Homo-oligomer: A and B are copies of this chain.
């Protein structure tokens, strides 16, 4: 057994940060990227440029890799099965990954194992969506294409039957879900290895703006130990039942029952390092990226505990500056403790081009510092 080669499919920022985490581990990293300009392709030594939808490309890429893992969940299931048939370990495997690829499969399986979900079913047309709305107490309801969505794309809040035409245009099955009256969003991040070892990170609060993750607070403030434990147990159980290997993010709604009792419902699953876990780079003993790599190689996992009472992550979205360097310099000067993570991506308005982490003892201060830096980099504030 020698230091292995990790094959990463996809050249986005998750691959970039996984490579960063793999360097101290002494691993060899091979990247399949769409273009040489992709975020990860800029910083990795061994890059293959190619299309992950092409099986021959995937097969050639997988030669010499000890394991294949992913920056995204878009590789066709049948290609992953073909790689497995070739004898290449694929982690997470296709049978697990399909639950992060297809929201219909995910809901059916979660319901089967008794994981709490919003009421949902596949709907066939706008009239069927209206029928579903009636079943759950009326519009609005959520419609989602079962495949292809992310960051709010592929998701519609529908207020009437007439409103429900758009989701069906893509020709992809459409899942209807009740619109949950949630208190806030949480995420339970865990990492699981092939031999079944698993670690659970503290449950975080995730704040979305316009359907895009904006701020993550670790741990989620004022979350009872009981509910936090329940969320972690749920994520661990989902991972075990679905045989997930690597990082699993379970995005949750925190709800209040009619009796005022808090509860959780599963919103989405992601089987890769996840935006709600970026805080771990500076806020946990072992980052989600390091633990994802350790898991897919079946190495013992690292300690997931936090290093500071509070860590806050804010995403940096493209805004007014085509080049953020001056703003970045300003942020470093203002806050010498700020941890900036830039992805090397061209700035486009609204595009995630980086994130910042801050940590400390005082949540209000930690949060203000992250908020300020993200807003300053975006250009929405100038002082």
A residues in contact (CB < 8 Å) with B? 1-4, 16-17, 19-20, 23-26, 28-29, 41-45, 47, 281, 285-286, 294, 299-303, 307, 323, 325-326, 328-329, 332-333, 336-337, 339-344, 354
Chain B residues within 8 Å of A342, by CB = 3, 24-26
The docked-state distance in angstroms from the alpha carbon of A219 to that of B30 is: 38
When A341-B24, A342-B24, A344-B26 are in contact, do A299 and B43 touch as well, CB less than 8 Å? no
When A300-B336, A336-B300, A336-B303 are in contact, do A328 and B20 touch as well, CB less than 8 Å? no
Chain B residues within 8 Å of A340, by CB = 24-26
The docked-state distance in angstroms from the alpha carbon of A336 to that of B290 is: 12
Partner pick for A336 among B19, B44, B286, CB 8 A cutoff: B286
The docked-state distance in angstroms from the alpha carbon of A23 to that of B14 is: 12
The docked-state distance in angstroms from the alpha carbon of A340 to that of B307 is: 17
Give 28 pairs: A residue, B residue, CB < 8 Å, sorted on A. A1-B323, A1-B325, A1-B326, A2-B323, A3-B325, A16-B23, A17-B23, A17-B24, A19-B23, A20-B20, A24-B281, A24-B340, A25-B340, A26-B328, A26-B340, A26-B342, A28-B344, A29-B43, A45-B45, A45-B47, A285-B336, A285-B337, A286-B336, A299-B332, A300-B329, A300-B332, A300-B333, A307-B307
| Contact status B45-A2, CB under 8 Å | no
The docked-state distance in angstroms from the alpha carbon of A303 to that of B29 is: 31
The docked-state distance in angstroms from the alpha carbon of A323 to that of B29 is: 18
The docked-state distance in angstroms from the alpha carbon of A2 to that of B343 is: 14
| Contact status B45-A43, CB under 8 Å | yes
> For the complex, would chain A's binding face be called helix, strand, loop or mixed by DSSP majority?
loop
Chain B residues within 8 Å of A47, by CB = 45
Chain B residues within 8 Å of A301, by CB = 336
Partner pick for A28 among B3, B28, B29, B42, CB 8 A cutoff: B42
CB distance from A132 to the nearest CB of B (A): 45
Partner pick for A303 among B45, B300, B329, B337, CB 8 A cutoff: B337
* Closest residue of B by beta carbon distance from A305: B337
| Contact status A24-B339, CB under 8 Å | yes
CB distance from A248 to the nearest CB of B (A): 19
CB distance from A279 to the nearest CB of B (A): 13
The docked-state distance in angstroms from the alpha carbon of A26 to that of B324 is: 10
* Closest residue of B by beta carbon distance from A336: B303
The docked-state distance in angstroms from the alpha carbon of A20 to that of B281 is: 13
Chain B residues within 8 Å of A339, by CB = 24
| Contact status B25-A302, CB under 8 Å | no
Chain B residues within 8 Å of A328, by CB = 26
CB distance from A174 to the nearest CB of B (A): 39
CB distance from A202 to the nearest CB of B (A): 16
CB distance from A340 to the nearest CB of B (A): 7
| Contact status B332-A302, CB under 8 Å | yes
| Contact status B336-A302, CB under 8 Å | yes
When A286-B336, A303-B336 are in contact, do A20 and B24 touch as well, CB less than 8 Å? yes
The docked-state distance in angstroms from the alpha carbon of A42 to that of B341 is: 22
Chain B residues within 8 Å of A1, by CB = 323, 325-326
* Closest residue of B by beta carbon distance from A355: B24
| Contact status B24-A43, CB under 8 Å | no
The docked-state distance in angstroms from the alpha carbon of A47 to that of B333 is: 31
Partner pick for A3 among B45, B307, B323, CB 8 A cutoff: B323
CB distance from A138 to the nearest CB of B (A): 47
* Closest residue of B by beta carbon distance from A42: B45
